Amino acid sequence: MGFQRGLLKLEFEDPEFAGLEVRSKRFSLGELLDVMLFPSRVNAGDAEERREVIESMALMLDSKIVEWNYEDEQGLPVDKCAKAIEALDQEFLTAILRGITAGSKKVAGPLETPSGDGGLESQIPMEPLPESP
């Protein structure tokens, strides 16, 4: 039996996105680098090159977002395809990128110690060692 990482449930700090639920896969290290370079790449080059950068980012997000509850103005679900992702405004796109990035870089908290015994560190003697002859 193998191991698979669970999905991320994105968390948004901006109250504008209250109620938005997005579940996604994590970014790989290479994808994290692409996300970090995205602002400089989208602002460099001509319009055609910028378009290619945006399209590649939309395709990457399409492959990462598993589900969301985003709806259009009529209350209809918006498909999480690359075309819909390209149509997002910059603030919305940035919030999703930050959410996946934060989840991808998150480090698990410390392991809990068994209740009552203090763990292995409680077994380490704390008194000074006797002097050797």
What mean pLDDT comes out for the span 107-115? 59
* Number of neighbours of residue 80 by Cβ within 10 angstroms: 17
Is the separation of the CB atoms in 119 and 100 below 8 Å? no
Query: Residue 68 pairs with which residues in a beta bridge?
Result: 22
The mean predicted confidence, pLDDT, of the chain is 86
Q: Where are the beta strands (DSSP E) in the chain?
A: 8-9, 22-24, 65-68
Residue 68's closest CA among 99, 110, 37? 99
Of 30 and 131, which is predicted with more confidence?
30
Asked whether the whole model's pTM tops 0.85, one would answer no
Condensed to tens digits (0 to 9), the pLDDT of residues 15-53 reads 999 999 999 999 999 999 999 998 888 888 889 998 999
Assess whether pLDDT exceeds 90 at residue 69.
Answer: yes
Tally of residues, the chain: 133
